[in-house]
Structure formats: C-alpha cells, structure tokens
Amino acid sequence: MMVNIAVCDDDTQFAAELENRILSYGKQKAVSLDTEVFSDGDSILQAILNGGQYDLVYMDIEMGNRNGISTVREIKKISPETMVIYVTFHEVYFTQMFETEPFRYLGKPLEEEQFNRYLEQALKRLRERLCYYTYTTGHSTCRVPVRDIFYFESRRRKIILHGKDCTDIFYGRLGEIQKELEKGGRPFIRIHQSYLVNPYEINRYYPDRVEMVGKMLLPISESRQREVKEKFHSFLREL
C-alpha cells in the first residue's frame, strides 16, 4: 500500500526536516511512503484541484496569505477523508483547529516519540480504511469495504451482513469471520453468540447492550460483558 503524504509549511528548513523524518520512518518500518512538500496553502490546494490525492497532510498554521486552518477547510470540501496533522508553535489556535476535525496536533520543535506514534496511528487508520471483506454468496464473490460493515448476524448456518449500503446473506461462521478480520488488522467485537460488531459503528455502549449507527440495539450476552467492556475501552484508547 502506497501512502501519499503532503507537508505544507512556509519554513523550508523545517519542512525538509519533517519530510526526512517521514521517509526515514517509512524505511525503518518497510512502509511505502511518497511525500510532496508545499510552502503555502494556495499551492497545495491547486495541486489537489489538479488531481493530486493525499492520504495525510502535515499542515503548518501561520503561513502567508492563507493560513493552515483556512487551507484545511478548503481541502476537506474537496477531499473529506484526507487526514490532517497540524504542526505549529501556537497552541492559541486549538479551538479553530478542532473545528476542522484534525487527526492529531504536533508542537514545534518536533518530539520524536510523539511524531512516530502519531504517524503509526495515522497509517493504522489508513490501512483500516482500505481493508475489504470478501465472501461468496450463490455463484458470486463479493467485496465490501470493512469500514462500511455495521455488524454480522448469525442465524443457524447463515450469516447476515448488515452494511452501510446493503444487507446480504451467505453461509459461514462468526468465529471464522472474526479470525479473518483480526488477521487483516481490523478486529470486530463478538458481543453475543449471534452478533459480531464493528466498534467504529457503535454509537453508545451499555453494560448489557450496544446502540449501533442507525439506532439499532444489540444485546451483549452476560458471559461476554466483561470482555466486551475491556475490548471496547481498549479500542477507544487507540483512537
């Protein structure tokens, strides 16, 4: 998987340092990372309008005519799924920054452990976004983005996939589906003998049930309540 990363900062020396850190991380972790550096908001916006696609953008805030926050607002209009990490000296912009829903915030000068941790978390999120689940129904083989699956439901030998755009039925076992998703780095949570849920799609968690996106309530079996609580809280800590 090639990850396209943009660095936007009018301090050319700092931008070069940041790009070197990104590429060095990629070599150490054997991850394919491609970088492009911009010195102002207008140039990165023009690149995106011309078809440039960036999975992750490191954005400075105080820059020339167009500041980083204004630039990110425009980027999100064109490419809502682009992840943003702000990099700045100035914490005074916190409120405005979080209005644009950034992934993380880094202070200057960079702290190596924090930089590596945030990049690792961003790459994990991107891998999850690009992950697919494949299954067979009848004579057809189907692929669904894992992020679009709400939950799997088991009824005897049949599995019902409840998704964002569809509901489908195929033969299988929840335990095998769970293991397959875990191998792909996208663990779902088994809340009940009959339900395997996508933690990203849980709106509310209760000790004995979860409310999924769309207000669907699913029970947590008594024997699984402690395990579900631990797994869901662990999931939340890693966001």
- Per-residue pLDDT tens over the stretch 93-114: 666 777 788 999 998 999 999 9
pLDDT in tens, 190-235: 999 999 999 999 999 999 999 998 889 999 999 999 999 999 999 9
Between CA 218 and CA 127 the distance in angstroms is 27
Taking 90 as the threshold, does the pLDDT of residue 183 lie above it? no
Mean predicted confidence (pLDDT) in 128-154: 89
Res 238 pLDDT > 90: no
The domains of the chain, with CATH numbers, are 2-129 (3.40.50.2300), 133-237 (2.40.50.1020)
pLDDT tens for 125-138 read 888 777 889 999 88
The enclosing H or E element of 149 equals strand 149-155
| Burial zone of 49 (CB within 10 Å; 0-12 exposed, 13-18 middle, 19+ buried) | exposed
